[in-house]
Amino acid sequence: KQEVTQIPAALSVPEGENLVLNCSFTDSAIYNLQWFRQDPGKGLTSLLLIQSSQREQTSGRLNASLDKSSGRSTLYIAASQPGDSATYLCAVINTDKLIFGTGTRLQVFP
Amino acid sequence: DTAVSQTPKYLVTQMGNDKSIKCEQNLGHDTMYWYKQDSKKFLKIMFSYNNKELIINETVPNRFSPKSPDKAHLNLHINSLELGDSAVYFCASSQAEYYGYTFGSGTRLTVV
Q: For the segment B8-42, what is each residue's pLDDT rounded down to a tens digit?
A: 999 999 999 999 999 999 999 999 999 999 988 89
Residue A2: CB partners within 8 Å, gap ≥ 6?
A25, A26, A27, A30, A92, A94, A99
pLDDT in tens, B53-81: 888 888 789 999 999 999 899 999 999 99
Residue A53: CB partners within 8 Å, gap ≥ 6?
none
Q: Which residues pair with B27 in a beta bridge?
A: none
Query: What is the C-alpha separation between B81 and B86, in angstroms, rounded?
Result: 9
pLDDT in tens, A97-108: 889 999 999 999
Chain B residues whose beta carbon lies within 8 Å of the beta carbon of residue A34: 100-101
Residue B52: which pLDDT band, with cuts at 50, 70 and 90?
Answer: confident
Say if the Cβ atoms of A95 and B43 lie within 8 Å: no
Is the distance from CB of B24 to CB of B35 less than 8 angstroms? Answer: no
Taking CA–CA distances from B92, the nearest residue in chain A reads: A44
For A52, A77, A102, B47, B99, the CA distances from A5, given in Å and listed in that order, are: 18, 19, 6, 22, 23
Query: What is the C-alpha separation between B94 and B111, in angstroms, rounded?
Result: 30
Q: How many Cβ atoms sit within 10 Å of the Cβ of residue B68? A: 18
How far does the CA of residue A37 sit from the closest CA of chain B (Å)? Answer: 11
Q: Is the pLDDT of residue B1 over 70?
A: no
Query: What is the C-alpha separation between A87 and A40, in angstroms, rounded?
Result: 8
